[in-house]
Amino acid sequence: MMALTWIDKYKLITRNLAEWLGDEKLKSILKKRDLKLYWGTATTGKPHIGYFVPMSKIADFLRAQTEVIILFADLHAYLDNMKAPWELLELRTQYYEAIIKSILKSIDVPLDKLKFVKGTDFQLSKEYTLDVYRLSSLVTEHDAKKAGAEVVKQVSNPLLSGLLYPGLQALDEYHLKVDAQFGGVDQRKIFTFSEKYLPMLGYEKHIHLMNPMIPGLAGAKMSSSEEDSKIDLLDNPMTVKKKLKKAFCEPGNITDNGILAFSKHVIFPLFKDGETFNISRTAEFGGDISFSEYENLETAFANQEIHPGDLKNAVEMYINRLLDPIRKEFEADSKLKSLANKAYPQKQKTVEVEITPTRLDIRVGKIVEVKRHPNADSLYVEKIDLGEPNGPRTIVSGLVNFVPLNEMENRMVVVLANLKPANLKGISSYGMVLCASVEEPTRQVEPLRPPTNSIPGDKIVIEGYEDGVADDLLNPKKKVWEKLQPSDYHLFASMEYALAQQRFTSYEDVQKCLDDWFGSKEQDLLYTTGDIIMFCADNIGIHDTGCGVKRIDSWINTYMPNTYSKNY
């Protein structure tokens, strides 16, 4: 085997990276000696197949004769909004070490070339702790929050621990005595934070290498905490098949496609010389086809020469080939099985939290950019400023048929901000613009207007529900928003309109409308005029009792004489 030149090493180190900072320094070091770098992972949720992306790059680094440290950032896991409880910290660190070593072995990475370090082994030392205090005297709250915006769990009232997180990650670079840090592109703000602040402590800037974040199965970022977005490393073949069948894989879509991204960043880089990506098809659908280069597979899929189902079937085979040795290792070792169960104990069933408006995170936003959705005529794609440190959110709204584009521009709106991200025709939407609508005589929809003088980020609360904390993310299975949204007001508006237009032609019409509102009383109970007054006062806006009684009595006499008692 021929010795690698510094250029060969440079190409191996940088191939398939999304971005890297410090290119000249990287080249300068490689001309003199081998690179030293570390990759850190906070020991939080269970690792998933997305971890094959950094692991395949670590294989590249080792081929380039790089000295690699893998850091199990246990302290970071606790600081990040206590994603790992203190009592489980050691167990989760042990699990991470076992599973990551198993991943590396499954792709033939020699473990003796790696050094494994636990964060608390050096982050509690006198020297490190002093640097934490020195750094804290320099960093602003704004910079700390901004640096962690894409990595640290974002909540409306952040803990101090989450603000410390970026600083500790920056200090790791110096205290591990490396040249470079490797991480996902979601770490970029922490990397630039490090480049700004480490020199203030008298330490050199480090090189930063970033792999892309592959989309999850549902289209957004693959996440350890989102079950439907990922395939677990210990999922059995049937579970893998089931999850892939449900995965978002739109024909011709190559930009928001987790299946293709996994092929590009994991499957193809791990092929041995001469190995190809094989898709099995019947002769009726074009027959078997093979690809030796990822670019050719991507082009064929973009041209819709490859059906999503055929691509999924092929990727399923390669995923199972990667997972088989990991599954077998854990199935054969009772201690590893026990470790997995102890590190991630099944959650006890909790008492159902009452569904009230306090659980909604409703904020004032400003539309700073809006355009038509490229794949759907009825949808707008908006960039909405909610006053967040990581910039405007992308939100997709079905308002094209109701609000002209020019009226959407720079408009102040009200946004439900804690919905689970949804993939709408290939674009991920991170919230919902709240609107009011009427159905009669023709359907009209208009975005809600926030109070005058509101600014982006202001909280909107429901009267009577000012206290309480909103959910970080509404669980779609619990249908919190669906149960809380004021759909009944469509009924109220329709009923009032029907009253005004004399649309009720029989007692049964009125009975049905009232049954819908009151939740259908038992048949042998009569509605009182008082019931109807309450309905009108609370929902139609009649607050003058005398006027209301006169109007309602007239209505009762007209449509249901001698039917309702008047014991109000």
pLDDT (tens digit per residue) in 446-503:
999 998 889 999 998 887 788 888 898 998 888 887 777 754 433 333 444 444 443 4
Find the length of the chain.
568
Q: Decide if pLDDT at 76 tops 90.
A: no
Rounded to an integer, the average pLDDT of 514-534 is 47
Q: Decide if pLDDT at 529 tops 90.
A: no
Distance, CA of 3 to CA of 117 (rounded, Å): 30
Model-level pTM?
0.60
Q: Decide if pLDDT at 522 tops 50.
A: no
pLDDT band at 557 (very low <50, low <70, confident <90, very high): low
- Does 467 or 19 have the greater pLDDT score? 19
Q: State what percent of residues in the chain have pLDDT above 70.
A: 81
pLDDT for the residue numbered 138: 97
Distance, CA of 160 to CA of 150 (rounded, Å): 17
pLDDT band at 546 (very low <50, low <70, confident <90, very high): very low
Distance, CA of 226 to CA of 235 (rounded, Å): 15
Give whichever of 175-184, 263-272, 371-380, 523-532 has the largest mean pLDDT: 175-184
Distance, CA of 461 to CA of 472 (rounded, Å): 16
∠82-84-85 over CA atoms, to 5°?
Answer: 75
Rounded to an integer, the average pLDDT of 5-12 is 96
327: tokens are: 């599954």
pLDDT for the residue numbered 419: 92
The SS3 assignment for 413 reads: strand
pLDDT band at 228 (very low <50, low <70, confident <90, very high): low
- DSSP conformational letter for 263: I
Question: 283-320 burial string, b = 16+ CB within 10 Å, else e?
Answer: eeeeeebebeebeebbeebbeeebbbebbbbbbbebbe
Instruction: Spell out the domains of the chain, with CATH numbers in brackets.
Output: 6-211 (3.40.50.620), 237-264+272-343 (1.10.240.10), 355-540 (2.40.50.140)
Distance, CA of 206 to CA of 22 (rounded, Å): 7
Q: Is 101 exposed, middle or buried (0-12, 13-18, 19+ CB in 10 A)?
A: middle
The CA-atom distances, in angstroms, between 344 and each of 218, 291, 449, 485 are 24, 40, 45, 35
Question: 195-219 burial string, b = 16+ CB within 10 Å, else e?
Answer: bebbeeeebeebbbbbbbbbbbbbb
- Does 38 or 337 have the greater pLDDT score? 38
pLDDT for the residue numbered 15: 92
CB-based contact 297:271 (threshold 8 Å): no
The pLDDT mean for the chain works out to: 83
pLDDT for the residue numbered 444: 87
C-beta contacts of 437-440 below 8 A and 24+ residues apart: 437/490, 438/490, 438/493, 439/490, 439/493, 439/494, 440/493, 440/494, 440/497
Q: Decide if pLDDT at 167 tops 80.
A: yes
